[in-house]
Amino acid sequence: MIDAGSRHQDRDNVLEFRGVVKTFGSATALDRVTFPVRRGEIHALVGENGAGKSTLIRILAGDYTPDGGCVVVDGEAVQFRDPGEAISAGIGCVHQIPMFISGLSVTENLLLGAPYTHRRGGLIDWVSEHQAARHDLAAVGLDLNPRTTLGSLRPHERQLVAVARVLRRGLRVLVLDEVTASLSEPEVEILHRVIRSLAKRGVAILYVSHRLEEIFRLADTITVLRDGKRVTTEPAADLTQKDVARLIVGQEMKNLFKRQEVVEPKLDGPPRLRVRSVGDERLRDISFDVAAGEVVGVAGLGGAGRTRLLHLLYGVRALQAGQMFISGEPYRPRDPSEALARGIALVTEDRHHDGFVPTLPVWQNITLPHVRRFRRRGILRLRDEYDAALGLARRLGVRMPSIAAEMSQLSGGNQQKAIFARWISDRLDILLLDEPTHGVDVRSKSEIYDLIRELAAAGTSIIVVSSELEEIEALCDRVLLLRNAELIGEVRGVDISKQTILHALLAGTNPRKVAL
Amino acid sequence: MSTPVSRSDATSEWTRKRIEKFTARFPNQDIGSLAPLIFFVALIVIFGAAEPRVFLSEGNLTSILNDGAVLAILACGLTIVLVVGEFDLSIAAAASFGGALAAVLVAQHGWPLAPTIIAVVLSGVVIGVSNGILVTRFEMPALIATIGVASLLDGLTLWITGNAVIFTNFSDAFLISGSWSIGHIQAPVFYLSAVALVLAVALQYTTTGRWLYATGGNRAASRMAGIRIDRQIMLAFVVADVLGALAGYIYTARQGSLTPQFGTGFLLPTFAAAFLGSVTLSRRSFHVVGTLVGVYLIETGTIGLLILGAPAYTQQLFAGAVLILATMGARYRGRDGSTRRA
């Protein structure tokens, strides 16, 4: 173990946190956090939401001033007053959703906030600027025309442009905050390659992520924060994923990993959901069945049409071909309200966009689809509604300042649990989940997994779309493989593994043709 | 009480949270929500001190109440559209049209009261449905759609009235329907009370009200939760424009004369009142009580300035300043809300 508190100055330490303290009112966000980051090292920073990762990064970036301790860069204590100063000192940050102007060209986005240095007669020399941009993009392994608009790039290309943007200023420390959260597996791998090559060139990488499996593929050293305190800083080689999950939460987490037992679904009567030759502008000829109580995963690379498929099932988009049946009865929803009426619900991928209503308090968000139930002679019984929401939130262990709080006051994991709380009171027939643990901390993730299994055990059929193949491994009885808007096959039971799925998706081969 | 323990637990929890929620409105950093009320009181004190005999007379205070009522009915209608996250710039034109239609039908065609009122309500429904269809089906920005509809309505108003003031031949029933009173308090105030009460209860205590707020808060999320958002938007426009047309009827009946396009002058104060209301007292949203405070704050300021002998243009200065300050207040509170999470 590295003795992080040692006095002796390690020449390799490009960055050191020394006893950093930050309080917000009476809450301590960081409590004497000390650890070094070495030149050329990929240093993972992990912890639950609220453990203090973001606060630490914001101190480093100059957004916050620490109440105690200091940040040491190249042996000198520094205090940045704003992000500009951090950047000039060679510290660059890339966040989950980089700030871009999607209508502008890649070059213009690379130069956001920076001066245009190539001039001709006082005017911007665009030819040279684009050339310089092409050069910058090459440094992160991107070969694309810098004149293209940023909006037309794929998600991982945007993240790489964001890296290129901070790279161009003599970078020494690169902070990557959840940069892979919305990327699919091969895109993650591309990003990782670039990160490794930057580290080889001596850049210290501070890598924040909830995805443990990814951290173990990438990181040299892991620092775990819990409740604002540093729990450990150790070489990744000395730790296992289970160790880290335990250190993050402070207790054993068993259910996050691949299940050993496999339950074959009971197949009596018509399947709960039957989908036959379904299609729209993009999806072609999709057919599959889902049994009662079965958990079916949908795996696919970004852009394969996974979300679109869920939207067809939920009536968000109109079906243009094919038929669907619920328990043998024809089903053709034109609106989500019709899907709900048939016992189908969807938990969406991006809760901020279409998950919750920020202007309503937590309790009204929980009861949102069911307000009608609290109506007596036309008037809402607010107290009954409030009690019901409170009961559901407690059952799911939603941690919140108050159930009358705003959704924005909850952490991502607790927001997600509050949204799940909508659907546990009914006997839903089918629950559709789109990236159910996107941006959710380990503890909440584990609780959500338990919940999904509980619902399935009670007979709800569940369809899960997830970019995290570990999630699919941990949850699913069967996995549908979606590639370029077509189902290319399925994997079931003990055959479900990351390797099989990835191989099939990349090669486009059917591990086993869907038998219908 | 079959389950006294759990019930009283939940009850006390509920009561406690209500109290917390109430007191949470008044920590020192949230003074913004009280500012309009403080300003309101300050206005009354200032005008009262300057001209106690005139301003504080019973006659003046009730005339503020009476004169503000039509504006308040309009502003209540607009509030519903704002709750659902849309705009209605045609609501004042709906008032002009409703008034003109009533005047023409009663004075020139001799219609009795009941069919006239039905016609006015129907015209409001048609205006609201038109706005709603343009915004939902054709996905037009409400700003553009309602400006277009407003212009159409103003044209129609000029057409049916021949751009002439109508002030004779009104039936007694029509005139009485706008000017009966109890004590000093006139008919429009009673109409307003009914409208405000129904809307306030509907917004807070019915499923429709919840759906309207949810749709205004996050349309995509509301749709995913099974709310028919197009219906909510349609409903909001219909309610607003029916109230707009009725406000025009009430105004005309109370005045006993019709000046074509009288509604235009109501547009700015209607918006100012609703926006001022949205930063008054409670959460950062539009609500009926806030709108009423907004209306009467503006009305008090306007009449107060008149009594002090300020020139007519100061009234516009006042309304404009209130609108801008109210919106700044909304921004200040918005920032409060976002920094609360650390």
Q: What is the ipTM of this complex?
A: 0.84
Report yes or no: A371 at the B interface, CB cutoff 8 Å. yes
Report yes or no: B103 at the A interface, CB cutoff 8 Å. no
CA A41 to chain centre: 24
Among A218, A252, A286, the domain-final residue is: A252
Does any domain span residue B4?
no
d(CA B153, CA B95): 10
Structural domain tally of chain A?
3
State whether A313 and A335 are in the same domain: yes
Sheet holding A42-46, edge to edge: A91-94, A173-177, A204-208, A42-46, A221-226, A229-235
CA B256 to chain centre: 23
Amino acid at residue number A287: S
Report yes or no: B5 at the A interface, CB cutoff 8 Å. no
β-strands A286-290, A273-279: how paired? Answer: antiparallel
Mean pLDDT of chain B: 87
Q: Determine the distance in angstroms separating the CA of B232 from the nearest CA of chain A, rounded to an integer.
A: 13
| Nearest residue, CB atoms, B218 vs list A335, A356, A372 | A356
pLDDT at B117 over 90: yes
This prediction has a pTM of: 0.79
What mean pLDDT do residues A445-458 have?
Answer: 91
Selection from B338, B341, B209, B228 nearest residue B286 by Cα: B209
pLDDT at B141 over 80: yes
More confident residue, B20 or A175: A175
Cβ contact, residue pair B341, A346, below 8 Å: no
Crossing angle for the helix pair B142-161 and B113-136, nearest 10 degrees? 150
d(CA A441, CA A428): 26
H-type helices in B137-285, by residue range? 142-161, 172-179, 187-205, 207-217, 219-224, 229-255, 267-278
Among A399, A426, A453, the domain-final residue is: A426
Does any domain span residue B10?
no
Q: Residues B280-302: pLDDT tens digits?
A: 876 568 999 999 999 999 999 98
Structural domain tally of chain B?
1
State whether A277 and A298 are in the same domain: yes
- Residue B194 burial (10 A CB sphere; 0-12, 13-18, 19+): exposed
What mean pLDDT do residues B53-80 have?
Answer: 94
Residue of B nearest to A339 (CA): B226
Does any domain span residue A387?
yes
Best interface-test mutation with B: which of A354, A386, A425 has the largest number of B CBs within 10 A? A354
Does any domain span residue A116?
no
Cβ contact, residue pair B205, A368, below 8 Å: no
Per-residue confidence band for B145, with pLDDT thresholds at 50, 70 and 90: very high
Per-residue confidence band for A435, with pLDDT thresholds at 50, 70 and 90: very high
State whether A420 and A364 are in the same domain: yes
pLDDT at B33 over 80: no
State whether A68 and A209 are in the same domain: yes
Residue of B nearest to A359 (CA): B217
State whether A22 and A81 are in the same domain: yes
Residue of B nearest to A315 (CA): B224
pLDDT at A4 over 70: no
Portion of chain B with pLDDT greater than 70, in percent: 86
Residue A219 sits in which domain range?
1-90+176-183+204-252
Cβ contact, residue pair A380, B206, below 8 Å: yes
Selection from A494, A454, A501, A452 nearest residue A262 by Cα: A494
pLDDT at residue A374 in the model: 95
Does any domain span residue B96?
yes
State whether A384 and A504 are in the same domain: no
Does any domain span residue B269?
yes
- Residue A212 burial (10 A CB sphere; 0-12, 13-18, 19+): buried
State whether A299 and A438 are in the same domain: yes
More confident residue, A156 or A231: A231
Portion of chain A with pLDDT greater than 90, in percent: 44
In B, which residues are within 8 Å of A409 by CB distance? 340-341
pLDDT at residue B24 in the model: 54
What mean pLDDT do residues A441-465 have?
Answer: 91
What mean pLDDT do residues A457-483 have?
Answer: 91
Per-residue confidence band for B23, with pLDDT thresholds at 50, 70 and 90: low
Most confident among A117-121, A122-126, B97-101, B163-167 (mean pLDDT): B97-101
pLDDT at residue A3 in the model: 46
Report yes or no: B232 at the A interface, CB cutoff 8 Å. no
Among A367, A399, A426, the domain-final residue is: A426
Q: Residues A36-76: pLDDT tens digits?
A: 999 999 999 998 777 888 889 988 888 888 898 999 988 88
pLDDT at A256 over 80: no
In B, which residues are within 8 Å of A364 by CB distance? 210, 214
Residue B109 sits in which domain range?
32-334
Does any domain span residue B6?
no
Crossing angle for the helix pair B142-161 and B91-103, nearest 10 degrees? 20
What mean pLDDT do residues A478-490 have?
Answer: 90
Give the largest Cα separation in chain B, rounded: 72
What mean pLDDT do residues A222-239 have?
Answer: 92
Per-residue confidence band for B334, with pLDDT thresholds at 50, 70 and 90: very low
Does any domain span residue B5?
no
Give me the CATH number covering residue B219.
1.10.3470
Does any domain span residue A485?
yes
Q: In 3-state terms, chain A is what percent helix, strand and coil (to 5)?
A: 35, 25, 40
pLDDT at B245 over 90: yes
Give me the CATH number covering residue A46.
3.40.50.300
Does any domain span residue B260?
yes
State whether A448 and A512 are in the same domain: yes
CA A19 to chain centre: 30
pLDDT at A516 over 70: no
pLDDT at B340 over 50: no
pLDDT at B90 over 90: yes
| Cα dihedral A17, A23, A27, A31 sign | positive
State whether A84 and A4 are in the same domain: yes
Q: Determine the distance in angstroms separating the CA of A310 from the nearest CA of chain B, rounded to an integer.
A: 12
| Nearest residue, CB atoms, B213 vs list A336, A341, A359 | A359
Does any domain span residue B315?
yes
Per-residue confidence band for B19, with pLDDT thresholds at 50, 70 and 90: low
In B, which residues are within 8 Å of A414 by CB distance? none
Does any domain span residue A144?
no
